[in-house]
């Protein structure tokens, strides 16, 4: 299994219809590929976790990179893992406001535990939304 966490800059602003479309497309692709995860967003950024079989996650990440609805993709984590940590959601949505959701809490906790620049950036993106 492979887990990727990345951040990116959103080019859809607060367009909820566009966000719903991304989630719907993602869920369809992911169900087919056995990929699961969580998409966090505010008006300025995305943060996403994807988990699944190694090659499927790679193909999914290629598709994500090619999407013009966001830019400035920065890897926070790309790791082989023993098991999924985000449950079985084809793609679960976690808004910035839902800090109590397990997914957002995990992202914050994860970012706090890592010393990398990209993890610090992930933390700042999420915390900036909550304050
Ligand atoms: C923020 C964001 C998250 C995305 N997440 C996924 C994903 O989890 N799985 C996936 O297959 N594609 C994901 N995509 C990519 C879109 O689903 C993909 O670009 C679109 O479905 C491609 O459609 P097309 O090839 O028919 O144009 C994501 C795109 C963006 C902008």
Q: From its phi and psi, is residue 34 left (phi > 0), alpha (psi between -120 and 50) or beta?
A: left
Domain count, the chain: 1
Q: Which domain holds residue 85?
A: 2-130
| pLDDT number for residue 95 | 67
Nearest CA, atom 26, ligand 1: 25
Mean per-residue pLDDT of the chain: 90
Q: Is the pLDDT confidence value at 104 over 70?
A: yes
**How far is ligand 1, taken at its centre, from the CA of residue 25, in Å?**
6
Backbone angles phi, psi at 126, to 5 degrees: -75, -45
60 lines ligand 1 (CB under 6 A): yes
CB 39 within 8 A of CB 91: yes
| pLDDT number for residue 124 | 92
30 lines ligand 1 (CB under 6 A): yes
| Tokens describing residue 121 | 């950036």
Secondary structure (3-state) at 43? coil
CATH, residue 117: 3.30.70.100
CB 111 within 8 A of CB 123: yes
Which ranges of the chain does DSSP label H, i.e. alpha helix? 16-33, 54-65, 102-113, 117-130
64 lines ligand 1 (CB under 6 A): yes
pLDDT tens for 48-92 read 999 999 999 999 999 999 999 999 999 999 999 999 887 777 788
Whether the CA torsion 78, 34, 111, 123 is positive or negative: it is positive
DSSP 98: -
| 107 pLDDT tier (thresholds 50, 70, 90) | confident
| pLDDT number for residue 98 | 61
């Amino acid at each position: 299994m492979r887990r990727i966490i990345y951040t990116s800059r959103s080019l859809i602003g607060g367009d909820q219809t566009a966000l719903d479309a991304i989630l719907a497309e993602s869920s369809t692709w992911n169900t087919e590929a056995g990929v699961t995860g969580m998409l966090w967003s505010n008006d300025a950024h995305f943060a996403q976790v994807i988990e699944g079989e190694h090659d499927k996650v790679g193909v999914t990440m290629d598709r994500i990179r090619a999407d013009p609805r966001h830019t400035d993709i920065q890897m926070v984590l790309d790791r082989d893992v023993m098991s999924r940590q985000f449950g079985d959601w084809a793609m679960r949505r976690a808004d910035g406001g839902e800090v109590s959701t397990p997914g957002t809490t995990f992202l914050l906790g994860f970012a706090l535990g890592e010393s990398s620049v990209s993890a610090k950036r992930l933390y700042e993106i999420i915390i900036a939304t909550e304050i």
